[in-house]
């Protein structure tokens, strides 16, 4: 059974505009699926719909089954039972997930206490361990910091530690490295890849960047104007795109790669 099965998902605004248009996708346990498309293609709305987190006024129809729970039309109580434990999300901007006025350690302690029932010394130990698992140096010191006192890359690792605290079976990563500079981005992708493999977690990786998706995912779905235009193993899609839109994405990724290569050899 899939950990996430989306069928005929339609997301509309209150005034009736269709932003996601009959999208179907599924993620098997342990599978890594990439969702790619340019800005505004509906990637984020799809990821939010998967967790029942669509913005106020938007409606979803169709079916979104997350670990066997129907998310479309679910109550907040039903959603709370699957969020975190079954699936967790990391966003492009880690500050979205972090409270600027709370020390990092306390923020990670929240989900750990709720989901694992830890407290006192055991909770403090688990917080440090969670920070260590996302390869943060000096986790004891870091736990005492406020989000603004640490770097962007460190903040994204903290957001990742929070998402992993409940040991979800599916991690949704929505452009998690876009706000970071290139070397930090590369380190975070390596970390994400290692964590997903170590924990045999499924991954839904969302990005506008084909090179990044190729690095993180086995299979990819190409989204354009809220519709899936192509789907297949990453290798096939990159080497022999069938849809003209995908071909254009591949072409621009190649041109960028060549330009970078030329700069490197200069």
Ligand X SMILES: Nc1ncnc2c1ncn2[C@@H]1O[C@H](COP(=O)(O)OP(=O)(O)OP(=O)(O)O)[C@@H](O)[C@H]1O
Question: Would you tell me which residues interact with ligand X (CB under 6 A)?
Answer: 13, 19, 37, 39-45, 55, 208
Report the relative pairing of strands 4-12 and 59-66 from DSSP bridges: antiparallel
Report the relative pairing of strands 18-27 and 4-12 from DSSP bridges: antiparallel
Name the minimum Å distance from CB 109 to ligand X: 30
Nearer to ligand X, 13 or 252 (CB): 13
Centroid of chain to Cα 47: 8
- Strand-pair partners of 228: 223
DSSP state of 243: S
Name the minimum Å distance from CB 29 to ligand X: 25
Name the minimum Å distance from CB 225 to ligand X: 9
Name the minimum Å distance from CB 210 to ligand X: 13
* Cα(143)–Cα(137) distance, integer angstroms: 11
Nearer to ligand X, 40 or 73 (CB): 40
CA atoms within 13 A on the CB side of 261: 6
Name the minimum Å distance from CB 47 to ligand X: 8
Nearer to ligand X, 90 or 130 (CB): 90
Nearer to ligand X, 41 or 177 (CB): 41
Pull the structure tokens for residue 19.
Answer: 């932003």
Name the minimum Å distance from CB 39 to ligand X: 3
Nearer to ligand X, 39 or 265 (CB): 39
* Cα(148)–Cα(190) distance, integer angstroms: 24
The Cα-based distances of 191 to 123, 147, 198, 208 in angstroms read 24, 20, 10, 20
Name the minimum Å distance from CB 6 to ligand X: 14
Buried b (16+ CB within 10 A) or exposed e, 138-158: ebeebbebebeebeebbbbbb
Nearer to ligand X, 9 or 202 (CB): 9
Report the relative pairing of strands 170-174 and 202-207 from DSSP bridges: parallel
Nearer to ligand X, 223 or 250 (CB): 223
């Amino acid at each position: 059974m899939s950990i996430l099965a989306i069928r005929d998902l339609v997301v509309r605004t209150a005034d009736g505009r269709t932003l996601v248009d009959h999208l179907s996708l599924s993620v098997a346990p342990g599978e890594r699926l990439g969702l790619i498309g340019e800005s505004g293609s509906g990637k984020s709305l799809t990821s939010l719909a998967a967790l029942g987190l669509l913005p106020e006024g938007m409606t979803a129809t169709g079916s979104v089954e997350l670990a066997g729970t129907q998310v479309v039309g679910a109550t907040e109580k039903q959603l709370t039972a699957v969020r975190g434990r079954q699936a967790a999300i990391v966003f492009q901007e880690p500050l979205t997930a972090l409270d600027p006025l709370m020390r990092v350690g306390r923020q990670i302690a929240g989900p750990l206490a709720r989901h694992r029932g830890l407290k006192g010394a055991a909770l403090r130990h688990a917080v440090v361990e969670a920070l260590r698992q996302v390869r943060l140096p000096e986790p004891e010191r870091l736990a005492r910091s406020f989000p603004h006192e640490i770097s962007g890359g460190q903040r994204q690792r903290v957001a990742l530690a929070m998402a992993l605290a409940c040991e979800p079976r599916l991690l949704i990563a929505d452009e998690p490295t876009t706000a970071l500079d290139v070397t930090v981005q590369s380190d975070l992708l390596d970390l994400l890849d290692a964590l997903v493999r170590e924990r045999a977690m499924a991954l839904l990786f969302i990005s506008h960047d084909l090179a990044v998706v190729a690095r993180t995912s086995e299979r990819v779905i190409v989204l354009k104007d809220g519709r899936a235009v192509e789907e297949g193993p990453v290798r096939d899609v990159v080497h022999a795109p069938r849809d003209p839109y995908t071909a254009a994405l591949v072409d621009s990724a190649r041109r960028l790669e060549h330009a970078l290569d030329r700069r490197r050899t200069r």
